Structure 1
Amino acid sequence: MKKLVVIMLATILTLVFTGCAGNKKEDPAPKQSQLQNITVGLMPDVDSIPFIIAQEKGYFKEEGLTVTLKQFKSAMERDSALQSGNLDGAISDMLAEAFAKAGGFDTVITSLSTGSYKMVAGKNETVTSIQDLKGKDVAISKNTIIEYVTDRITAQGGLPANGINKVVIPQIPARLEMLQNGKIAAATLPEPLATVAIKNGAKLVNSSDQLGINPGVLIFTTKAVTEKEKEIQAMYRAYSKAIEYLAKEPRENYIDLIVEKGGFPKDVRDALVLPKYTKAAAPEQKDVDGVIAWLLERKLIQKQYNYSELVDARFVR
């Protein structure tokens, strides 16, 4: 009998403790550290399109990241915002990075971007080569990727840099408007605005694609790459998803979206041919060296910067 009582008490105690354990609230799963917001500056060009897709398709959000995209119409406005601390990073170019270093602003190139820059002649100009623009007005933005590509085009065509009359028009939309109104003979424009010009009668003279150069890059402040490393890694994962989307998705499923969100002219819709986007990669040494040589030759910088001083490839390895 005693043995039966002991067994019953043991059973009751087991049930009591089991019930208590069942009612005990489990410790919540440890939360992942929340990512900080990042702000990226965009230009009205095709380099910016993967960022627009990543934002609008929710790829940044999938990575737990909030990204603020800010649009700029000129390189000067973009660089001022980056240097004043209003941006963490920006679609930019190798020249801007060298200028930032020379000016004491701590930034680094984190990857290439996929851009295209074209010199186009006005519809009323009879132009078959760069030689036909000798002594004529060509609109550029000074000391930028646009002037660099322009000089490479003139050199390749057998003209010195001063063989054309460079007219400085910093804002890209204004440059396009001047060309289309016949106020200048030619202009160097990024895509997709070069496409708009060609659609409206302008003629292609030469391009960065035909020259085989790609000086467009993504730049971040050193403060951002130090304090927001996880955020930038997440951004690049979302960027890769956007590249995959653009590679497989029919054009009609996104063209209206990028025209609207990119602030592109509506008449670019049917004519725009996007570049073949590739996943983020570090720039090649020869492209960086070519830009630095151009800047030194024109005495725009005083120091020969090494590749490692300008490029931080940790995010694309």
Structure 2
Amino acid sequence: MAQQPKHRKALLGSLALGLALTAGVLSSCLTGGRKAGVQPALTLGIMPSVDYLPIAIASEHGFFDDSVELVRFSSPMERDAALQTGSVDGSITDYMSAMLLQSKGQKIVLPVATQGGFRLVFGHNEDLVRLSDLEGKHIGLSSHTVIEYATEKALVSPEGKTLPFTPVEVQKVPIRLEMLRSGELDAAILPEPFATLAATKGLRVVSLPDGIIEHITGLALLRKSYETKRPAVVSLIKGYNKAIAYMQQTPREEWVGSIVQLLGIPPEVALQLQLPDYQPATSPDTTHFAPILEWMKTKKLVPHSYQATGLVPPLPDLQ
């Protein structure tokens, strides 16, 4: 079992770098297929993460038939708050966040599975080479999130028991990366592009055990938007599929600018960034909810009776 989270004060330099990186990926709203003065058919929240890349490329290349406005957020909390208040029609989110929102009464659906990227990053301690070496070490995470879930699932003994470790609460990913570099953390699971950035800084990056965090994100939409804006939803999904086909058929050098703009990283890093195996839109496999939901119940994040009923609707006809 993990101990209670331990809060540590990051160095001023860590905070400065974190704020700079965060500012680097923020910008004004992007629009796709939208004319001046025209109300967007859909408004989507996006973040600097690789699972949003097909949507960003679809917007930039005009693959959406209806206008889609992309609104940038700097943290999952801001994104989820926008969903809760109806400030956006939807966003890509992880299954845990979607189930948390639904369990609290938010009427949302997850019609499309998406692909994200997460890897484990070791700090500068050269004695740490295997997952088992992290027993008792300081691991950066954000409590009650899919990162905490993945950390506990990854750090297990050969007998399948969670290895004890000291969780260090660090919600901002850029600061988590800097604390790894400064030696304040022994390891942390980071999303892309931060895992690749860590590798460029000389930190060791490894893939997580199969199945832990491969199928955890999807496109979440307000149920009302999904039901009343069906033509725009169909346009969104078709544009998403067009973007993936474009990425698969076109050298990365031709769309590297989209990565740079979305993620706020240098072109040379964008060219070597490990991207997911993007797939055309399919419905989420609800069997992937089960281990996450079981963990959420052990943490008392959702009622024991909660079953995520109705979270995944039928995929709309794209013809």
TM-score normalised by the shorter chain: which range applies? 0.7 to 0.9
Residue 230 of structure 1 and its aligned partner are, at CA, apart by 1.4
Residue 268 of structure 1 and its aligned partner are, at CA, apart by 2.5
Match of 1:141 in 2: 142
Residue 182 of structure 1 and its aligned partner are, at CA, apart by 2.2
Alignment of 1:223-238 (within 5 A): 223-238=224-239
Residue 174 of structure 1 and its aligned partner are, at CA, apart by 2.0
- Of residues 17, 34, 39, the one that matches 2:43 is 39
Q: Which amino acid aligns with 1:46?
A: V
3-state SS of 2:156 partner: helix
Q: Which amino acid aligns with 1:89?
A: G
Distance 1:158-1:316 versus aligned 2 partners, 3 A rule: farther
Residues in 2 aligned to 1:81 and 1:214: alpha-carbon distance in whole angstroms: 24
Distance 1:47-1:218 versus aligned 2 partners, 3 A rule: same
Residue ranges of structure 1 left out of the alignment (5+ in a row)? 1-33
Find out whether 1:260 has 2:261 as its counterpart.
Answer: yes
Distance 1:151-1:119 versus aligned 2 partners, 3 A rule: same
Conservation of the 8 A alpha-carbon contact between 1:109 and 1:312 = yes
Residues in 2 aligned to 1:91 and 1:223: alpha-carbon distance in whole angstroms: 17
Conservation of the 8 A alpha-carbon contact between 2:142 and 2:148 = yes
What does the per-residue CA deviation read over 1:80-116, in whole Å, with 9 as the maximum and x for residues that have no partner?
1111111111110110111112211111111111112
Residue 157 of structure 1 and its aligned partner are, at CA, apart by 6.2
Identity %: 33
What does the per-residue CA deviation read over 1:118-161, in whole Å, with 9 as the maximum and x for residues that have no partner?
12111334222122111111111221221122122113766754
Match of 1:183 in 2: 184
Find out whether 1:48 has 2:49 as its counterpart.
Answer: no
Residues in 1 aligned to 2:317 and 2:278: alpha-carbon distance in whole angstroms: 15
Residues in 1 aligned to 2:265 and 2:209: alpha-carbon distance in whole angstroms: 21
Residues in 2 aligned to 1:126 and 1:260: alpha-carbon distance in whole angstroms: 37
Residues in 2 aligned to 1:92 and 1:208: alpha-carbon distance in whole angstroms: 21
Residues in 1 aligned to 2:165 and 2:287: alpha-carbon distance in whole angstroms: 27
Find out whether 1:239 has 2:237 as its counterpart.
Answer: no
Residues in 2 aligned to 1:188 and 1:239: alpha-carbon distance in whole angstroms: 27
Match of 2:95 in 1: 94
What does the per-residue CA deviation read over 1:33-86, in whole Å, with 9 as the maximum and x for residues that have no partner?
x995211112221101101100111112xx1x1111122232111111111111
Match of 2:31 in 1: none
Find out whether 1:312 has 2:306 as its counterpart.
Answer: no
Q: Which amino acid aligns with 1:164?
A: F
What does the per-residue CA deviation read over 1:241-281, in whole Å, with 9 as the maximum and x for residues that have no partner?
00000101101111133112333455622421222210011
Residues in 1 aligned to 2:222 and 2:307: alpha-carbon distance in whole angstroms: 18
Residue 181 of structure 1 and its aligned partner are, at CA, apart by 2.5
Distance 1:136-1:300 versus aligned 2 partners, 3 A rule: same
Conservation of the 8 A alpha-carbon contact between 1:118 and 1:208 = no
Further displaced range: 153-162 or 43-52: 153-162
Distance 1:274-1:83 versus aligned 2 partners, 3 A rule: same
What does the per-residue CA deviation read over 1:185-225, in whole Å, with 9 as the maximum and x for residues that have no partner?
11111112111112212223442656473111111111211
Conservation of the 8 A alpha-carbon contact between 1:52 and 1:262 = no
Find out whether 1:151 has 2:158 as its counterpart.
Answer: no
Q: TM-score, normalised to structure 2's length?
A: 0.81
Residues in 2 aligned to 1:315 and 1:191: alpha-carbon distance in whole angstroms: 30
More helix by share: 1
Distance 1:154-1:185 versus aligned 2 partners, 3 A rule: same
3-state SS of 2:48 partner: coil
Residue 168 of structure 1 and its aligned partner are, at CA, apart by 1.7
Tell me the number of residue pairs that the alignment of Structure 1 and Structure 2 aligns: 281
Residue ranges of structure 2 left out of the alignment (5+ in a row)? 1-37
- Taking only aligned residues, the RMSD between alpha carbons, in angstroms, comes to 2.3
Q: Which amino acid aligns with 1:111?
A: V
Match of 2:62 in 1: 58
Residues in 2 aligned to 1:149 and 1:253: alpha-carbon distance in whole angstroms: 34
Residues in 2 aligned to 1:313 and 1:173: alpha-carbon distance in whole angstroms: 37
Residue 162 of structure 1 and its aligned partner are, at CA, apart by 6.3
3-state SS of 1:124 partner: coil
Residues in 1 aligned to 2:45 and 2:144: alpha-carbon distance in whole angstroms: 19
Match of 2:169 in 1: 168
Match of 2:112 in 1: 111
Q: Which amino acid aligns with 1:234?
A: S
Distance 1:49-1:208 versus aligned 2 partners, 3 A rule: farther
Conservation of the 8 A alpha-carbon contact between 1:121 and 1:202 = yes
